[in-house]
Amino acid sequence: MPHVICEPCIGVKDQSCVEVCPVECIYDGGDQFYIHPEECIDCGACVPACPVNAIYPEEDVPEQWKSYIEKNRKLAGLE
């Protein structure tokens, strides 16, 4: 999974990440956005665009938000 959207997105859903994504792989998952890992090209454009710092490369997801890796996969229909 290239990038993961974590807890700070919940309740905010600013859409800045959606606007900068060159492959349109960020989708509305209800309470937050999620990145479809099979569509993401790992460009990282979404990371600095997020005003609440909710987007991380999978390997850099903070420990307290590791559950969002699985949540993003589920939202993408991969689990």
**pLDDT tens readout for residues 40-68:** 999 999 999 999 999 999 999 999 999 99
User: Is 43 annotated as a binding-site member?
Assistant: yes
Total-model pTM: 0.93
**pLDDT tens readout for residues 4-31:** 999 999 999 999 999 999 999 999 999 9
User: Is 9 annotated as a binding-site member?
Assistant: yes
The domain limits of the chain are: 1-74
Phi-psi region of 52 (alpha: psi -120 to 50; beta: other; left: phi over 0): alpha
User: Is 21 annotated as a binding-site member?
Assistant: yes
Class of 1-74 in CATH: alpha beta
User: Is 25 annotated as a binding-site member?
Assistant: no
User: Is 6 annotated as a binding-site member?
Assistant: no
- Under a CB-based contact definition with an 8 Å cutoff, are residues 17 and 44 in contact? no
